[in-house]
Structure 1
Amino acid sequence: MGLTLKVDLRKKKMTNDEIIGQALLFFIAGYETTANTLHFVAYSLAKNPDVQKRLTEEIDSVLGDKTPDYDNIGGLKYMDHVITETLRLYPAVSLVGRNVTETVTIKGFTFPKGCAVSIPTFAIHRDGDIYPDPESFKPDRWERKSEMDPINYLPFGHGPRQCVGIRLAQVEMKMALGRILQKIQFVATEDTLASVGMDDVIVYTGILNTKKPIMLKVKVRPDK
């Protein structure tokens, strides 16, 4: 015999703190992280014109003059690699925190209930034992993604508390990049940072940023 539970959702109302918290989450997690990643994509493309050229060629081949949408951006496979490599080098959330709910021992290390665990995403992503030539921007390394251990790639976290907005963020970034690179290209200038390492970044409002602003030039594509 089944048990039916009826709940009157009209009696459940959000508190002011819950409303403020959700609004903050939308703006920080839903917009700032995506904009931050596009910021670093532009920098990476300007510093790696060969990658930008190949990506532009893919956009021209897949999209042509069509407006990017949910259906046609699926064909932008190299763009997937470019975004993935950008998030490896510049994860918007550079540190992931978790609280231990039950005492557990993993590989000889005991984590007592109630302690906090910090996972250094930025450092893991630049570990030479995991990623050969870790400081270089190499989108092609992700052609072997199926052979990699997913726990070593954490821009969206991992497990049951992984970011619920992964798909939305990827769609937003691919549509934005597709539209932008149909018309323009990013170019490095004398003021552009030569590189961005651990000593060049800072975490502000929980999001990875550079200590000095990234300066780039935007040019209309010569073929447009």
Structure 2
Amino acid sequence: MKRKVICLILFTIFLFIACSNTESEENKIINTIKEFEQAEYGFYTLAINFKTYEKRIAPLVHPDSGYLDSQKKKDKFYIYSNGIRTLANYVSMEEVLDADEGKLMELKDKFDKLVKEAGYPSAEIEPLYASNVYTSKDGSSKYVYTKQTVDWGLDMPLEKYKKFILKEEDNLWKINIIIEDVISTDPESKHRKLREKVFTVHEGEKIEFLNNIDIF
């Protein structure tokens, strides 16, 4: 009887440790997404230069992703105005890559003026939310989905979605692939009907966005 009690206690301790490790791993993955989004927002609002951005992003992305190289190879840099990429206003990416703090301020003033002259409405941005962490059947990948609603004063607000696929390297889960889209909240939108399930359903399970991520 005493041996059974000891075994039960040991099993309970083992189960508690296992659950704690799983929770810790999920928290680390969610924090990776948070740090990535904070760096992205900082760079695309010209709050940080590329060197700082690169330093913050490099530990978060998997070498196989080629993410930073793809950023450097972009021809155009689009500023985020109120958290939304303003497609009408851009400069060459090369100009931004080499910009020091003074140049960043100059570019930001230029963009702010262009946005104002273009008459873009002021966006109301809801918090960014992330899903829980999903694991592939073979355990080789982790998945996290994010959602952010933005109201630009148009007929319908927009929903900005991302699907992060993470791959393990040196016992750390790093971002390997990012799939993203901006979708109208209009239920009759053809684009929404085609794309919505990519970001709202995972392997037949409806995704819940419960983790509030502060990117500002």
TM above 0.5, one fold?
Answer: no
Determine which structure has greater relative contact order: mean sequence separation of CA pairs < 8 Å that are 6+ residues apart, divided by chain length: 1
**Shorter-chain TM-score: which interval?**
under 0.3
Whose strand fraction is larger, Structure 1's or Structure 2's? 2
Structure-1-length-normalised TM-score: 0.27
